């Protein structure tokens, strides 16, 4: 009898915890939908109670909380406004909880979260193109007629005559480049949406007494695989070879552009990590880390220089050699 009572009490406690987690997730999703200015930051909190429920209960309870949040958001705001906006964050909560239960490394959890976020974006884009009239060619790197018309209207309001023609000639390739880089932009958004809840989970869970949450090593110790350089070189060679053969394809151009952008971003990340490492081992160099970081966002030449620094560090192993020599 006492064992049966204990089991019932345990289930009741789990149910109460699940109800509290559901309420917290719904409250923050409501705040995110009502206050668009803070929606991104607020929505990043939604995965935390779901991940907590997966960790403290089990995956079934986490799924139950996720379904309850989506149903309540749908009832409060409709499927398009509520569940459509909350779905990616609920699934990220399940991904984090699953990774924590399986004791995956932080890099593995980040990769899974990025894939989940990107997959939800892809599903939402398909839904929007199938039922809401969104032109799917946008995601293939093509400028849609509506976007071209809007750009022409904006330019016509500022320029006229020969200046208008010159502005159109300059804005056309720029707009096409931005459209083709949409996959890279979605990659960065998906990566951020996967990383930010991991950081928040680590901070909040530690306050709750949960310390065995995997997380990344200090930023100054980050080492990007040198294979990134070879991939970048391979993409550049492939692009030049296609141009030499006279092969022109929007798909290939879009693919090579986005792969090269991902590689350049990783090289830039390696360079910034090197500057953070310099704070401890090369203080004179490390004193420039914040000005260089800010300038790399504003000045393309500085951005390329930081990426070059990262490539040099990868190829020479400078950090490792310096630490071993001291």
Q: Is residue 164 part of a domain?
A: no
Main-chain dihedrals φ then ψ at residue 217, nearest 5 degrees:
-70, 165
pTM of the model: 0.82
Q: How many domains does the chain have?
A: 2
- The domain in which residue 308 lies consists of 220-325
Q: Are residues 94 and 192 in the same domain?
A: yes
Looking at residue 252, its pLDDT comes to 77
Tokens representing 141 are 């790197």
Q: Are residues 118 and 240 in the same domain?
A: no
Tokens representing 235 are 């993409």
Q: Is residue 262 part of a domain?
A: yes
Q: Is residue 127 part of a domain?
A: yes
Where does a domain end: 176, 207, 238?
207
Q: Are residues 62 and 196 in the same domain?
A: yes
Closest CA to 323 of 277, 287, 289, 291: 277
Q: Are residues 202 and 315 in the same domain?
A: no
Q: Are residues 202 and 300 in the same domain?
A: no
Q: Is residue 212 part of a domain?
A: no
DSSP 80-112: IIIIHHHHHHHHHHHHHHHHHHTT--HHHHHHH
Where does a domain end: 173, 207, 241?
207
Looking at residue 314, its pLDDT comes to 92
Q: Is residue 171 part of a domain?
A: no
Q: Is residue 167 part of a domain?
A: no
Q: Are residues 79 and 195 in the same domain?
A: yes
Measured over the CA atoms of residue 247, residue 249, residue 254 and residue 255, the dihedral's sign is negative
Looking at residue 3, its pLDDT comes to 38
Each residue's pLDDT tens digit in the chain (326 positions)? 343 334 444 667 778 888 888 888 888 888 877 776 667 788 888 899 999 999 887 888 889 998 888 888 888 777 666 667 778 888 999 999 999 999 999 999 999 999 999 988 877 777 766 666 555 555 555 656 666 666 667 666 666 666 667 666 666 667 677 778 888 888 999 999 999 999 999 999 988 888 888 888 888 889 899 999 999 999 888 888 877 777 677 677 788 888 999 999 999 999 999 999 998 888 888 788 899 999 999 898 999 999 999 999 999 988 888 877 66
Find the radius of gyration of the CA atoms of the chain: 24
Q: Are residues 193 and 274 in the same domain?
A: no
Helices (H) and strands (E) in the chain, counts: 15, 0
Q: Are 279 and 289 in contact (CB under 8 A)?
A: yes
Q: Are residues 200 and 228 in the same domain?
A: no
Q: Are residues 51 and 28 in the same domain?
A: yes
Q: Is residue 118 part of a domain?
A: yes
Name the packing angle between helices 250-281 and 182-207 (round to 10°): 40
Q: For position 74, which CATH number holds?
A: 1.10.1760
Q: Are residues 47 and 103 in the same domain?
A: yes
Q: Are residues 10 and 114 in the same domain?
A: yes
Q: What is the widest separation between alpha-carbon atoms in the chain?
A: 90
Q: Are residues 121 and 22 in the same domain?
A: yes
Looking at residue 159, its pLDDT comes to 65
Looking at residue 49, its pLDDT comes to 92
Q: How far apart are CA 234 and CA 129, in angstroms?
A: 34
Q: Is residue 153 part of a domain?
A: no
Measured over the CA atoms of residue 125, residue 131, residue 133 and residue 135, the dihedral's sign is positive
Tokens representing 194 are 């996967």
Q: Are 223 and 266 in contact (CB under 8 A)?
A: no
């Amino acid at each position: 009898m006492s064992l049966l009572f204990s089991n019932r009490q345990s289930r009741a406690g789990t149910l109460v915890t699940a109800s509290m987690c559901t309420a917290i997730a719904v409250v923050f999703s409501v705040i995110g939908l009502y206050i668009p200015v803070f929606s991104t930051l607020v929505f990043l909190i939604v995965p935390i109670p779901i991940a907590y429920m997966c960790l403290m209960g089990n995956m079934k309870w986490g799924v139950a909380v996720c379904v309850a949040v989506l149903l309540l958001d749908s009832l409060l705001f409709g499927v398009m406004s509520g569940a459509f906006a909350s779905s990616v964050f609920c699934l990220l909560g399940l991904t984090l909880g699953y990774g924590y239960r399986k004791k995956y490394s932080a890099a593995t959890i980040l990769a899974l979260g990025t894939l989940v976020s990107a997959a939800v974006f892809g599903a939402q884009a398909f839904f929007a193109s199938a039922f809401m009239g969104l032109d799917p060619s946008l995601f293939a790197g093509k400028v849609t007629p509506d976007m071209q018309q809007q750009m022409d209207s904006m330019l016509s309001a500022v320029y006229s005559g020969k200046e208008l023609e010159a502005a159109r000639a300059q804005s056309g390739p720029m707009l096409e480049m931005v459209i083709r880089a949409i996959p890279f932009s979605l990659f960065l958004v998906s990566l951020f949406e996967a990383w930010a809840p991991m950081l928040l989970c680590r901070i909040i869970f530690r306050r709750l007494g949960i310390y065995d949450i995997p997380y990344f090593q200090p930023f100054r110790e980050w080492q990007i695989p040198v294979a990134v350089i070879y991939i970048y070189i391979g993409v550049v060679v492939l692009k030049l070879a296609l141009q030499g053969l006279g092969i022109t394809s929007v798909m290939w151009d879009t693919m090579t552009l986005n792969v090269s952008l991902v590689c350049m971003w990783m090289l830039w990340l390696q360079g910034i990590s090197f500057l953070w490492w310099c704070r401890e081992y090369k203080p004179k160099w490390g004193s420039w880390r914040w000005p260089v970081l800010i300038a790399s966002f504003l000045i393309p030449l500085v951005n390329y220089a930081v990426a070059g620094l990262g490539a040099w560090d990868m190829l020479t192993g400078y950090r490792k050699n310096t630490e071993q020599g001291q």
